[in-house]
Every structure is written in structure tokens, then in C-alpha cells.
Structure 1
Amino acid sequence: MRSFPPLPDVRGSPAPDDLLDGHLWLLELIDGTGLRFSMDESGLLRFGGPETTYAGPEAVPIALRPAVGRVRERFDREALRGAVDDPEGVVFFGVATHHRGTDYDWDRLPPFLGTDVWIGPREETETGAFRPPDAAAAIFEGIGLGAVNAFEREVNGRDFDPETYAIPGSAWRDGPAAGVVVRNKRGGRGKVLAAGAATGAGERPREGDSDVPPLDDPEAIAAAYATEERIERVVDDLDRRKAGATVDAVADGVVEAVARETPVRFGAGGERADPDRVRAAVVERVRVVVDGR
């Protein structure tokens, strides 16, 4: 699967060659984890992160599973087959939105937002290429997925100074964006980070942080984050998708929501919460809500 294109920081260092020539698109930089996927001949979607591909659903990190679920639910396979001669040569790139230091309005922010589309060669004499930002946005719309939002389009590169550029307010939170992605139509790209942005840092929560329960106490994590509002939201989503709002399904959804929306990190190791123990603590809270509906 094609790798993510590099995205160098252009503030405080020379911009990549020719990036600021011509006209630019300025896109919101979303604080999350890169997610890429492609479709094989049978229609099966295969997913990968920034540095690996996932063998199956269980291999996807919990915080990224809502993004994978969104893509699987909405991806229009027939639209892709009708648009290109070789669907297997297309790789889609985007960001799985989850808490990495920036607190978004999680109810509004989609679990996945598209950023790039790579279309491979159709003939042996051709080479593949990333599509320009406007074309990529149209492709994502055509297959049923959203793309990152643009702050400005067709900005003359001579009028853009990354050193003095003021980061706009985010479309997905009450506050500034984590940064801005600068793109031109020849494939050039870079980023301008907001001052103090945690983008890409993947900071682990520390016990004793005022907003993070002790990671060795699943009951405390469940009490803090498996709220009735969050449980009801998962139930409503399952009902909307006619997926069956059983206690087990809702508990799985709540753990995924906690992984996506809160500072808690799941996995092995002393600085990460055990997902199975947290799920066990969540189940009884879910049962009370589900049985009471």
C-alpha cells in the first residue's frame, strides 16, 4: 500500500522547493493518526496506519476503530469501480480523529476525514500520482466520505508567509486549529503548526493528571468516561445503523468512544489501560442504561 506523503514543517525552516509557487490551498490540520486504505478486486477494504498495515479488524488500535467503521459503513464500492479502470491501484489517505492533545467537539467531528488520493498507473508506461486537493475532496465526496475542510483556496503563493500566518479557528472545536496544511496543485505540501500544538506528539496520560483517572483502576476510568450520555450516544448510533444495541455491542462501542475521545490510552504496558478490564467495568453501567430503555 502506498506510503503517506511527507508533510514537513515550513515554519522556522525553508519551505520545500516550489511549495509557495503558484496558487495554494490552505487546509485544516487535524490532530489524529494517519489511516490509509485500498480496495481489492473482491471489494474487500484493507487498512493501514502511518507505518504498518493491519492484518484484520482485531489488529486495528482501539482508538482507530471508529474511523475504520465509518469507512466500511459509507464507502461506495460501485462508485469507485465506475470511476477508474483499476480500483486496486487507488489508495485513500486520511486521518483517524482521536484525542492526541487537542480536544475536539467529538459529536461533530467525523471519525475519519480524507486528505489524499493516490491513483496508480493504468499502463506500464505511466506513473501514479497524488490528486490535487480539490480533486481529492471531490473523490472522497463521490465515494461517500468527508474530506478535511479548506480554510482558503487558490491563495497566491506570493501573498502567503508561513512565519506570520495566523492560524484560523478550527471547524471542529471552540479554539484555533492544530495547524494548517499548505498544498499546491503540483503535489507540493507542508504544514504550519499552531504555537504549542500537540499534533503528532501522541502524549501518554500520566497518573495524577487532574483529568485522567488512575490507569490501574478500570472502575475509575469507567466512572469518569462511561457516562450515561456517552452510552446513550452509542445506543443511538447502533439503532441508526440497525446493528443491534445489545449490552455487548454497546460496551464495545463505549470503550472505542473512550479510546477516541479521552486522554486514556489503551494497550499493553504500565502507562496504558487494559481494554478488557475497562470493558468489564463498563458492562454493568451499560446494562443499567440498556435495560432501562
Structure 2
Amino acid sequence: MRSFPPLPNVRGSRASDDLLAGHLWLLELIDGTGLRFGMDASGLLRFGDPETTYADPEAVPVALRPAVRRVRERFDREALRDAVADPESVVFFGVATHHRGTDYDWDRLPSFLGTDVWIGRATGQEAESGAESREGSFRPPDAAAAIFEGVGLDPVNAVEREVNARDFDPEGYAIPGSAWRDGPAAGVVVRNKRGGRGRILADERATGTSEDAPDFDDPEAIAETYATEDRFERVVADLDRRGAAATVDAVADRVVESIARETPVRFGAGGGSADPGRVRAAVTERARVALADR
């Protein structure tokens, strides 16, 4: 699966000459983890983060699972097959949105936002017109946004479109407010239609909530702090909307994913990380109580 394109900082005279030319698109930089995926001939979607690809869905980190599920539920496979001659040559890139220091309005922010589309061969229309297959390329930002919408996914939001590069000063640029929180964006991605790209980071951004963080190695403390009645209610309501059964196991799984996505708790191997299985066991006991009271 093709790697993420580099995204250098454009401040401090580090902007390449091929970026600050022509007309620019400024996109909100979303604080999360990169998620990429492609579709094989059978329609199976395969996922990866910036460093790893996952053959087994169970291997996907807990914080990224809501994004993977959203893509699987919404992705229009037939739309992709109709749009390109070789769907297997297409790689989609985006952000799995989860807490990495910036507090978003998690109920509004999609768990996946698309940023880039790589197409390795000619599109269906190009193939019909007799165009030869060409070397693959990333699509321009406006085309990428249209492609994501065409397959049923949300593209990252544009802050400004078609800004003349001659009028753009990266050093003096003021980071705008985020579309997904009450506060500034984590930064902006600067792109042009010839493939140039870079980023401008906010000098300061939110670094968590005011609530006391639990001992991240103690699953009972994590469950007590974050497996709240409100979180259980939101998970059950979401399962109901989807027509899925709100069983103890299903609710416990979604609550753990919600904690991984929306809170400072980090799951995984290594010091200072919570064990997903132990946290799920602690959450399961609370899920039984919550569902028994319904």
C-alpha cells in the first residue's frame, strides 16, 4: 500500500519552490493518526496507519477502530468500480480522529476524514477515451474531496480555496478557528494543484481537558473515570440507530473504543499504556449494570 506523502513544515524558509506557486488550497490540519486503505478485487478493504498495514481487523489499534468501522459502513464499492479502470490501484488517505492533545467536539467530528487520493492508472473516462495508462499521482485537493464524497466519505474541510500564492505569507499567517471545536485549528495544510504540499502548525493548541486523568495503568481507575453513564447512553443510542443489538459485549467494545478515541488514555504496549483487554473487562462489569437498569 502506498505510503503517506511527506508534509513538511513550510515556515522558517522551509517551503519548497513548487508549493508557493499558483493557487493554494488551505485545509484544516486535524490532530489524529493517519489512516490509509485500498480495495482488492473482491471488494475487501485493507487498512494501514502511517507505518503498518493490518491483515487482521483485530490488529487495528483500538483508537483507530471507529474510523475503520465508519469507512467500512459507508464506502461505496460500486462507485469506485464505476469511476476507475483499476480500483485496486487506488489508495485513500485520511485521518482517524482521536485525542492526541486537542479536544474536539467528538459527537460532531467524523471518526474518519479523507485527505488524499492516489490513483495509479487512468480513470474510467480516460480509459474509454483511449488514453494510455499513466504513472500514478495524487489527485488535486478539489478532485480528492469530490472523490471522497462520491464514495460516501467525508473529506477534510477547506479553510480557504484558490488563494493566490503571491498573496500568501506563511510566516504571518494566523491559524483560523477549527470547524470541529471551540478554539483554533491544530494547523493548516497548504496545497496546490501540482502536488506541492506542506503544513503550518498552531503555536499553541489545547493539551487535554481540565478533568483529572486516571492512572493509565489501572483499568479499574480508567473505567471508573471514563465509563460514565453518559458514555453508556451515547453508545446504546448509536447502536439503536444502526439497528444493532445493545448486548453487553457490543456496548463494552464500543465504550472502550470511545474511551480510546475521546480521552487522553493511551492503549497499547509499552510503559504508560493501558491494556485494552483489562480495561474491557472492567468496563464490561459496568456495562452489565447499565444495561440491567434499562
TM range (shorter): over 0.9
**How many residues are paired up?**
285
Asked if 1:181 is matched to 2:189, the reply is yes
Name the counterpart of 1:90: 90
Asked if 1:138 is matched to 2:139, the reply is no
Identity of aligned residues (%): 80
Alpha-carbon separation, structure 2, partners of 1:125 and 1:47: 25
When the two chains are superposed, the root-mean-square deviation of aligned CA atoms in Å is: 1.7
Name the counterpart of 1:44: 44
Asked if 1:25 is matched to 2:25, the reply is yes
Q: What is the SS of the residue equivalent to 2:191? A: strand
One-letter code aligned to 2:168: F
Deviates more, 1:278-287 or 1:115-124: 115-124
Alpha-carbon separation, structure 1, partners of 2:101 and 2:280: 23
Asked if 1:244 is matched to 2:241, the reply is no
Name the counterpart of 1:129: 137
**Residue 185 of structure 1, CA deviation:** 0.3
Deviates more, 1:275-284 or 1:244-253: 275-284
Alpha-carbon separation, structure 2, partners of 1:38 and 1:269: 30
Contact 1:114 1:145 in 2 (8 A): yes
**Cα distance change, pair 211–13 in 1 and its aligned pair in 2 (3 A):** farther
Name the counterpart of 2:200: 192
Name the counterpart of 2:291: 290
**Residue 289 of structure 1, CA deviation:** 1.9
TM-score (norm 1): 0.94
Alpha-carbon separation, structure 2, partners of 1:267 and 1:91: 27
Alpha-carbon separation, structure 2, partners of 1:243 and 1:13: 53
Deviates more, 1:5-14 or 1:92-101: 5-14
Q: What is the SS of the residue equivalent to 1:70? A: helix
Q: What is the SS of the residue equivalent to 2:220? A: helix
Deviations 1:67-125 (A, max 9, x none): 00000010000111111111101100000000111111111100000000000024886
Query: Structure 2: where are the runs of 5+ without partners?
Result: 123-130
Name the counterpart of 2:127: none
One-letter code aligned to 1:47: F
Contact 2:31 2:98 in 1 (8 A): yes
Contact 2:184 2:205 in 1 (8 A): no
Contact 1:28 1:150 in 2 (8 A): yes
Name the counterpart of 2:113: 113
Alpha-carbon separation, structure 2, partners of 1:20 and 1:290: 56
Query: Structure 1: where are the runs of 5+ without partners?
Result: none
Deviations 1:131-175 (A, max 9, x none): 010010011001000010001000000111010000000000010
Asked if 1:168 is matched to 2:176, the reply is yes
Contact 1:37 1:45 in 2 (8 A): yes
Alpha-carbon separation, structure 1, partners of 2:184 and 2:136: 35
Name the counterpart of 2:125: none
Contact 1:179 1:197 in 2 (8 A): no
Name the counterpart of 2:277: 276
**Residue 233 of structure 1, CA deviation:** 1.0
One-letter code aligned to 1:5: P
Alpha-carbon separation, structure 1, partners of 2:261 and 2:89: 30
Name the counterpart of 2:15: 15
